Amino acid sequence: MNIIAVTANLTDIKADAIIVNHFEGMKQPEGDAAAADRVLDGAISRLIKRKEIKGKTGEITLLHGPAAIPAGHIVVVGLGRKRGLTVEKIRGAVAEACRYLRRKGVASVATGAPGAGIKDINIEDSVQAVTEGALLGLYTFRRYITKKDDNSGEIKELIITGRPKSALTVAIERGRVLAEAANWARDMVNEPGNNMTPTHMAEAARQLSEEYGLKIEVLDKDKMVELGMGGLLGVSQGSQQPPKFIILSYKGKASDEIDIALVGKGITFDSGGISIKPSDRMGEMKGDMAGGASVLATLIALARIKPEINVTALVPATENLPSGSALKPGDIIRAMNGKTIEVLNTDAEGRLILADALSYAKKLGAKNIIDVATLTGACMVALGDICSGIFTNNQALANKVIAAGNKAGERIWQLPMYDEYKEQLKSDIADVKNIGGRYGGAITAAKFLEEFINGSRWVHLDIAGTYLTDKEKGYIVKGGTGVPVRTLVTLVLNMVKK
């Protein structure tokens, strides 16, 4: 989609439709809505008076433009109460309005910067949110649908009005970069497992390397054996697909040090292995590599924005399948850092491959380590599909991640890491078990991972509840969500500023 900034009045812009906004509780239209009301001979005011336009969040009212203006459609979008407006609500409102207009066959849309100047919302933040909302909300994944969608057109152009134009252009580009990176991760998650094997995932990373000038290295099975990656090798035993360990690096400054290592779980399909999952919804386990997709996508954005920081993404990629050669409950494996693991449940496999990846990040000397994983159903039980869980051994780093998530609109909630939880992981015959007891499963999984970071500044993000959705709301559409790409990019950029 072409997105441009202009300084013209909204009602003068040549577009198929214009979007204006109204706040709940306001008796008269304001700003662009007032200008549209004038060319409509007071139609918006009359609808407000009759309470047909209330301004509630998500409310959409369509009016037809008069001959006096270029736009054929005028859409009034509710933003809720003015005092409660956030950039997150702007993202969602724009996404809903754009999808609505796409169904009407609209090809070009113009809008202003909603809420600019209200509270802490400046025009740049508003324009970035408009851009993200449109690109994220209009995302579709139709690669394997051969029938044309007759009920949906394509919005080819978005025009955003405001001043100064230069600042708006910068904000548009920032929003575009973040949204397109998140949509790339969505594509990866939505791909079927037969077309997103570890080899396919490594090839996708190679393509990123070529397109964006990133450094890449892909370790094969022989190198994993040499490094002692027993976790990744163990999980991959049951699959005919060879495992891959992907190392993709963005270098934004001359130093060789790694400021942040982003570690992403890359289980390209998870049947549970010998501890096989129920068949119901198992197909969704093609997305068990969402953590890996998100850290790779983050480097797309960094390569385009070019901050002065060094970031490396590490993705251990494999399938987890049952077979005669698969890892068995009761087996003992040795991770890269030398610790032995008693495997009591082969469906707790993500932590096994992350054990090696975290050990590798430690070996690289990364100053900060952040892992992202669809790790536990227990996290979804605790937080539902609203928040990702965060766990840490360094509160300052966790605070930065949470703040970045708040800005990106990707909610994160912290769970405890008390040492008492570690008791559940004690093994009689190995250094550690790969599962704890029935309770606190998301926490004991995080305590397991902590065994492999050896004191490094570390944050673990469990996105089991947020990586996928079966509902359409705001800028979230059915399928992969792209969480937490925008959080990670925002975090990195914030760390550069400071």
Mean pLDDT throughout 325-335? 98
Whether 314 and 204 share a structural domain: yes
Give me the pLDDT at residue 65, please: 87
Give me the pLDDT at residue 299, please: 98
From 120, 152, 180, give the residue that closes a domain. Answer: 180
Whether 477 and 406 share a structural domain: yes
* The pTM of the whole model exceeds 0.85: yes
Domain coverage including residue 83: 2-180
Tell me: pLDDT of 69 over 80: yes
Whether 232 and 155 share a structural domain: no
Choice among 54, 56, 104, 277 that is catalytic: 277
From 180, 208, 229, give the residue that closes a domain. Answer: 180
Give me the pLDDT at residue 245, please: 99
Whether 379 and 488 share a structural domain: yes
| Residue 190 counted as domain residue | no
Whether 65 and 153 share a structural domain: yes
User: Does 119 qualify as catalytic in the annotation?
Assistant: no
| Residue 189 counted as domain residue | no
Q: What is d(CA 23, CA 413) in angstroms, rounded to the nearest whole number?
A: 30
Whether 208 and 134 share a structural domain: no
From 145, 180, 215, give the residue that closes a domain. Answer: 180
Whether 34 and 152 share a structural domain: yes
Tell me: pLDDT of 118 over 90: no
Whether 153 and 267 share a structural domain: no
The alpha carbon of residue 179 and the mean position of all alpha carbons in its chain are separated, in whole angstroms, by 9
Whether 450 and 356 share a structural domain: yes
Whether 68 and 214 share a structural domain: no
| Residue 186 counted as domain residue | no
Contact status, residue 321 vs residue 239, Cβ threshold 8 Å: yes
| Residue 15 counted as domain residue | yes
Whether 75 and 125 share a structural domain: yes
| Residue 338 counted as domain residue | yes
| Residue 187 counted as domain residue | no
CATH number at residue 123: 3.40.220.10
For 286-319, how does the pLDDT look when each residue is reduced to its tens digit (9 = 90+)? 999 999 999 999 999 999 999 999 999 999 999 9
| Residue 493 counted as domain residue | yes
User: Does 351 qualify as catalytic in the annotation?
Assistant: yes
Whether 133 and 52 share a structural domain: yes
CATH number at residue 225: 3.40.630.10
Choice among 89, 351, 362, 447 that is catalytic: 351
Number of domains observed in the structure of the chain: 2
Give me the pLDDT at residue 498, please: 57
For 89-104, how does the pLDDT look when each residue is reduced to its tens digit (9 = 90+)? 999 999 999 999 999 9
For 341-399, how does the pLDDT look when each residue is reduced to its tens digit (9 = 90+)? 999 999 999 999 999 999 999 999 999 999 999 999 999 999 999 999 999 999 999 99
**pLDDT bucket at 67, cuts 50 / 70 / 90:** confident
| Residue 191 counted as domain residue | no
